[in-house]
Chains A and B, each alone.
Chain A
Amino acid sequence: MSLQQLRTALLALALISLAGCSSLGIKPWERDVLARQEMALDAYPIDTAFDEHIYFSKEAASGGRGFGGGGCGCN
């Protein structure tokens, strides 16, 4: 991805969030399903931590999800 493409993607992200998101979503009283523990985006942080540690040490790519990988001499 070139810097130009990155800028375009960032602009697209901003536009989507500003223009599109207002018509999406649910009412506060409709959050019953999203409130389930397993619906959290990172419902099992220990699994995520182990996975990111393993893949960081075996592959050239890491992170993306949050502050994953790093802090290890294994790569």
Chain B
Amino acid sequence: MQLKKRSPAELRLGLMAATCALLVQSAHGQEATDTTADGEKPLQIDAGALYYKENAGRIQSYDAIVTVRKDFGDEYILGLNAAYDSLSGGSPTGAIPNRAAQTFATPSGTSVKAATGAPVTYTTASGRTVAQLSKVSVYTAAPGTLPIDSGFHDQRVAGDISWSQPLGQNNKIAVGGHLSHEEDFRSASANVSFSRDFYSKNTTLGISASTEFDNVNPVGGIPLAGSDYTKLQKGSDRTKQVTGGQLGLTQVLARNWITQVNISYDSSSGYLTDPYKIVSVLDSKGAITGYRFESRPESRARRSIYMGNKVAIGSSVLDLSLRHGTDDWGINNDTIDARYRFNLGSDDLYIEPHLRYYQQSAADFYHLYVSSPGVLPTYMSADPRLAAFTARTIGFKIGVKLQDQDEVSVRVEAYQQDAKVRSSTLTGLSGLDLNPSLQSFICQLNWRFSY
């Protein structure tokens, strides 16, 4: 074979071209190893910031979450999650509005105790026996308004870690842990799940279990459940445990439709009372004669069935979910949640309206107020979250895709909760809105990027 003799210039050009070709090939090879089988980059970071505000001087909060998902290839995936919340404002105490102003002690209030541990009492000019109090600061609810301790503030930090990997052919196992800390509450939980794919990965069956340990250490101590509020009888911290399980089925129904059905059960035990909530005590005409700390059962079992769907309709996507739940406190609940994502232009921009409807029945021991004289119930709570109510959410999200899976988005939503029972036939309460609606507003920013 006769080799053609090249000039030094031609040789340099040829070597440059070969080097470039190798570099391009090398870059392509690198890209192939830096993306997973389904085209996602191996490190995905999601960051979100949320502003939440309720009406009538209730809660407002600033929340932030960062999640990191690292794919080591072959479906070995590490998940990390950190969250921070800063809350201020106040929640309803459970006491109902009154025609006269009402004065309450802040949660830090405790009674003076004798050496025996019993509260030291004295008799007022009107003949009532009340505790001698120490370290008590007070707040006042104006006539006709819902009592809210607006001096509340707290911060919460939480972290999650999860690991999932294949376990033989068609099986996957995942484990996770969670820790969170607030001034008056600490929580630790762990979960494990196992899933198996069937029928060319069109069907997945999963089973999972979780356990949670909480420590409740409220400001001022744990009130004696059901006791007279004016005596401020309080004890030390308490704990509660939650154990749960879930069975899940994920099924591809069509080329554009995937559905998921979960059946869940959890059982809680320990201190399930809210240490900051009280119940108004009324006489037969509706005049307020006092208050009691609320008292809840020390166990609760909840069951729910959930169905989620993702349906592609052209370039748009419908996300529709339904949930029905029940528990042995007598609370039945139903939720329907729908989001519809319109992809606009060349799919780089989307807008997603969101509607949600929720309803629940009241807990068996929920009372707007209790009446005395007469025997007070063993369990009683006026917490509006245990009342019968309906709730609606309306909102929308706008997102812009940047490159690959990267995107930024903004979400704005409004939420309203309306109690079913808001008035009383008692003469002393006529014309008062005893359980006013809750309205809240959220604004959320999201940022997703990947390497």
Contacts and interface: CB of A to CB of B under 8 A. Distances in A.
Contact of B212 (A24, A31, A71): A71
Counting chain A residues whose Cβ lies within 8 A of the other chain, the interface size class is 35 or more
Contacts of A58: 385, 391, 415, 417, 438, 440
Nearest to A36: B312
B184 interface: yes
Contacts of B164: none
Interface stretch (B2-10, B104-112, B250-258): B250-258
Contacts of B39: 35
B391 A59 contact: yes
Nearest to A73: B185
A14 B293 CA distance: 46
Interface string A32-75: 11111111110111110110011100111101111100111101
B251 A64 contact: no
Counting chain B residues whose Cβ lies within 8 A of the other chain, the interface size class is 35 or more
Interface in B187-207: 187, 189, 191, 198-203, 205
A60 B334 CA distance: 11
Contacts of B210: 67
Tell me which of A26, A32, A43 has the highest count of chain B C-beta atoms within 10 A of its own C-beta: A26
B114 to A, nearest CB: 31
A28 B47 CA distance: 33
B288 interface: no
Interface in B378-414: 385-386, 391, 397, 405, 409, 411
A1 B360 contact: no
Given A10-B247, A72-B156, A1 B187 contact: no
Given A21-B202, A49-B65, A58-B438, A1 B321 contact: no
Contact of A46 (B329, B438, B446): B446
B252 A24 contact: yes
Contact of A61 (B81, B321, B323, B438): B323
A45 B385 contact: no
A30 B253 CA distance: 12
Contacts of A75: 274, 385
A24 B154 CA distance: 50
B374 to A, nearest CB: 27
Nearest to B217: A73
Ranked 9 nearest A-B pairs via Cβ: A25-B202, A73-B185, A64-B306, A46-B48, A61-B333, A21-B203, A71-B187, A64-B304, A71-B180
